[in-house]
Amino acid sequence: MSKVLVYEKSFLRLGIVLLILCLGALLYANIAMGIHLPGRGGLIDPEHLEETPPFNEPGVHQTGPNQYDVVVRAYAFLFVPAEIRLPVGAEVTFIATSRDVIHGFNVEGTRINMMLIPGQISRNTYTFTEPGEHLLICHEYCGIGHHLMHGKIIVE
Ligand code: CUA
């Protein structure tokens, strides 16, 4: 057998092993960690965003003794609401979507980092452990006013 064939076979084997590892990682993320694409409950008609709950009432809503939902609508080039006030130590779930084009939702100094896609609802739960101010920024280029698109989160 020529040397080329031997190398070729080992590369093929390596390819198969990598494929199995990647499929395994995908299955693990999907089944064990529960990470998947949004289901039907995560879809929304962006044309009727302003009338569709929960986006008909953007803002901070208390859902439990120490739990809050923060509903945010994103437009070119603003967040509604632009200023969000939250108590320190509360479990906060951000629920956001876009009315028009793809926007970003990134809270400076935290791991909150979402993409807002028209027609899809993005969620992220977080607890602010210290009081302070955080900038909310759009980190997906969305047009001429992209650099002006920001909000503020005040933890008190
Ligand atoms: Cu919105 Cu960039």
Confidence of residue 39 (pLDDT cuts 50, 70, 90): low
Are 3 and 10 spatial neighbours (Cβ–Cβ below 8 Å)?
no
pLDDT the model gives residue 93: 94
Burial class (CB in 10 A: 0-12, 13-18, 19+), 39: exposed
Compute, in angstroms, the gap from residue 6 CA to the centroid of ligand 1. Answer: 52
Write out residues with Cβ below 6 Å of ligand 1. 77, 103-104, 138, 140-142, 146, 149
Compute, in angstroms, the gap from residue 41 CA to the centroid of ligand 1. Answer: 25
| pTM for this entry | 0.77
Are 91 and 127 spatial neighbours (Cβ–Cβ below 8 Å)?
yes
Q: Which atom of ligand 1 is nearest to the CA of 101?
A: 1
Rounded to the nearest 10 degrees, how much is the dihedral formed by the CA atoms of 14, 15, 16, 21?
A: 90
pLDDT the model gives residue 33: 77
pLDDT at 40 over 70: no
Are 135 and 70 spatial neighbours (Cβ–Cβ below 8 Å)?
no
Compute, in angstroms, the gap from residue 52 CA to the centroid of ligand 1. Answer: 22
Confidence of residue 133 (pLDDT cuts 50, 70, 90): very high
pLDDT at 36 over 60: yes
pLDDT mean across residues, the chain: 92
Are 89 and 128 spatial neighbours (Cβ–Cβ below 8 Å)?
yes
> Cα dihedral sign for 31, 36, 42, 44?
negative
- Report the distance separating Cα 27 and Cα 68, nearest Å: 32
Average pLDDT on 69-85 reads 96
pLDDT at 3 over 80: no
